[in-house]
């Protein structure tokens, strides 16, 4: 059968809307069978503009193509399985099981793949057709308001501390560092874990061999180091053998006190013991627009009484940005309500569009085709569905997928490095061995998409 023909952009949009409304049951079936992604808009050089909607399911692949002939009053064409081989030819061409759709004064016969595409892109087809017209030079590129990067962080930055909670590997820490990078600020960083003590956060006196502001070669053999003569010489030759070293919290406060914009990133906040987090209770309670931190460092002794250092900075110079996983499956404490009130809590879950965007950038850096990132996004979605059905124990994350891209030297190695991580996502049996059925499922999903 011939492709569906439309006389205007408006007819295309009406068709998408009408088809999605009258074929909801078929749309639901297609959603279960396929993942649908939108390819880039292409101009073939003769001003014929096309965009492909790629449907990928288990051992099944279809392509629905929308084409514009490039003329100002030109026609639009829609058909299924563009450039497909005979083995995967759509029933649209075979004339079987087609659904009639009445729209624009015509009766269109459509396959289930076109119905699924219309449902998936009914809300964005207007933007897609505008972009196609722009690519053909018929209209100017329409102005779109994209989602502003770091929208939530910009709203609260240098006003109030922010705690980002969400899935592991959802890009929480990545976003924190990228935001600091966007401001050209080198952040102070705390990697949270259960063994952290207050001196790791605030600072402490450390041995220092040499004169202040001068680095000397203090290398010595092991035999000489452990000799009594060497130890005695160290004590006698270095009157200031201990020197203060800032911890990351004190470092961030000191930068801000000196008038610089400072960002403190505390990764995995709730893995840090509560008794150590008490430091933040008073430090992040502003007084007259200033944060105040007692470091424990002794500045001077007067009449036998030590004076402790207090770092004071304008709240507008310091942004505290913390991250945490939440949930019983993680080794984290619940946050103390008093500490929680110091933060604005925002949620960041793994979003497929964000995941694909980050992986596309990695693909471009490596010289890979950007479609490898889309395949990784589809793999993530399929694994997510499998976990929701109890078929696998865990799902890949941005961290594990990024690692596959980072390790790969060639594009086809991305698949290999994803498969190499399959034991992360499956259960173990009573003997501690990976469940065979889950391993086979992961391998099958990987092979479906790569």
Residue 146: pLDDT band (50, 70, 90) is low
3-state secondary structure of 203: strand
Residue 143: pLDDT band (50, 70, 90) is low
Residue 87: pLDDT band (50, 70, 90) is very low
**How do residues 312-370 score in pLDDT, each as one tens digit?**
999 999 999 999 887 555 556 677 888 889 999 998 888 887 888 889 889 989 999 87
- Alpha-carbon distance 58 to 444, whole Å? 9
User: Is residue 141 scored above 70 in pLDDT?
Assistant: no
Q: Tell me, what's the pLDDT at 187?
A: 96
Whole-number CA gyration radius for the chain: 30
**How do residues 198-228 score in pLDDT, each as one tens digit?**
999 999 988 887 655 543 444 444 444 444 4
Q: Tell me, what's the pLDDT at 89?
A: 61
**How do residues 402-435 score in pLDDT, each as one tens digit?**
999 999 999 999 999 999 999 999 999 999 999 9
Tell me, yes or no, if the pTM score tops 0.85. no
Task: Report the C-alpha dihedral over residues 99, 104, 107, 113, rounded to 10 degrees.
Answer: -30
Residue 437, token pair as written in the block: 């059925």
Top mean-pLDDT range of 60-69, 137-146, 153-162? 153-162
Q: Tell me, what's the pLDDT at 84?
A: 45
Mean pLDDT along residues 295-304: 90
User: Is residue 166 scored above 90 in pLDDT?
Assistant: no
Mean pLDDT along residues 15-20: 92
Q: Tell me, what's the pLDDT at 189?
A: 96
- Alpha-carbon distance 150 to 6, whole Å? 40
Mean pLDDT along residues 87-107: 73
Residue bearing the bigger pLDDT, 329 or 35: 35
Mean pLDDT along residues 245-257: 96
By residue count, the chain amounts to 450
Domains of the chain, residue spans = 4-135, 151-215+240-347, 352-449
Q: Tell me, what's the pLDDT at 219?
A: 43
**How far, CA to CA in Å, does 348 sit from each of 153, 371, 441?**
12, 25, 28
Mean pLDDT along residues 249-269: 95
Lowest-confidence segment of 28-32, 92-96, 162-166 by average pLDDT: 92-96
**How do residues 59-83 score in pLDDT, each as one tens digit?**
778 889 999 998 877 899 998 886 5
**How far, CA to CA in Å, does 338 sit from each of 66, 161, 274, 277, 342?**
56, 14, 11, 11, 7
- Alpha-carbon distance 91 to 74, whole Å? 28
Residue bearing the bigger pLDDT, 36 or 322: 322
**How do residues 284-298 score in pLDDT, each as one tens digit?**
999 999 999 999 999
CATH number of 151-215+240-347: 3.40.50.300
Residue bearing the bigger pLDDT, 29 or 94: 29
Lowest-confidence segment of 24-38, 173-187, 297-311 by average pLDDT: 24-38
Read off the DSSP letter of residue 187. Answer: -
Mean pLDDT along residues 128-139: 85
User: Is residue 130 scored above 70 in pLDDT?
Assistant: yes
Q: Tell me, what's the pLDDT at 286?
A: 93
**Average pLDDT of the chain?**
84
Mean pLDDT along residues 377-381: 87
User: Is residue 112 scored above 70 in pLDDT?
Assistant: yes
Mean pLDDT along residues 443-449: 88
Residue bearing the bigger pLDDT, 87 or 286: 286
């Amino acid at each position: 059968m011939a492709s569906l023909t439309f006389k205007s952009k408006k007819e295309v949009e009406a068709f998408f809307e009408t088809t999605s409304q009258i074929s909801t049951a078929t749309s639901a079936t297609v959603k279960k069978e396929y993942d649908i992604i939108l390819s880039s808009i292409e101009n073939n050089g003769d001003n014929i503009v096309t965009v492909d909607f790629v449907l990928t399911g288990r051992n099944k692949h279809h392509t629905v193509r929308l084409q514009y002939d490039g003329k100002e009053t030109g026609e639009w064409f829609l058909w299924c399985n563009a450039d497909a081989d005979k083995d995967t030819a759509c029933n649209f061409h075979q004339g079987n099981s087609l659904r009639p759709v009445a729209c624009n004064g015509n009766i269109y016969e459509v396959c289930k793949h076109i119905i699924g595409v219309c449902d998936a892109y009914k809300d964005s087809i207007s933007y897609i057709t505008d972009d196609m017209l722009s690519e053909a030079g018929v209209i100017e590129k329409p102005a779109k308001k994209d989602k502003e990067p770091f929208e939530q962080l910009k709203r609260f930055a240098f006003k109030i501390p922010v705690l980002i909670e969400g899935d592991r590997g959802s890009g929480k820490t990545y976003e924190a560092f990228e935001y600091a990078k966007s401001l050209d600020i080198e952040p102070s960083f705390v990697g949270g874990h259960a063994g952290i003590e207050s001196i790791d956060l605030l600072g402490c006196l450390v041995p220092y061999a040499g004169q202040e502001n001068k680095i000397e070669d203090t290398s010595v053999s092991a035999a000489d180091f452990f000799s009594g003569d060497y130890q005695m010489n160290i004590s006698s030759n270095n009157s200031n053998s201990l020197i203060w070293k800032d911890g990351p919290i004190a470092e961030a406060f000191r930068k801000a006190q000196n008038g610089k914009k400072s960002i403190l990133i505390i990764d995995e906040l709730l893995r840090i013991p509560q008794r150590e987090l008490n430091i933040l209770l008073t430090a992040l309670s502003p007084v007259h627009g200033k944060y105040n931190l007692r470091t424990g460092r002794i500045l001077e002794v007067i009449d036998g009484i030590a004076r402790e250092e207090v770092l004071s900075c304008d709240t507008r110079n310091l942004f505290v940005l913390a991250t945490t996983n939440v949930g019983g499956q993680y080794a984290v404490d619940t946050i103390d309500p008093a500490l929680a009130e110091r933060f604005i809590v925002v949620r960041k879950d793994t979003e497929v569009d964000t995941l694909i965007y980050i992986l596309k950038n990695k693909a471009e850096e490596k010289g890979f085709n950007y479609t490898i990132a889309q395949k990784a996004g589809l793999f993530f979605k399929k694994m997510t569905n499998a976990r929701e059905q109890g078929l696998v124990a865990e799902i890949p994350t941005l961290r594990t997928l990024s690692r596959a891209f980072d390790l790969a030297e060639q594009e086809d190695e991305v698949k290999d490095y994803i498969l190499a991580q399959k034991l992360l996502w499956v259960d173990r049996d009573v003997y501690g061995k990976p469940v065979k059925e889950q391993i086979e499922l992961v391998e099958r999903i990987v092979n479906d998409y790569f």
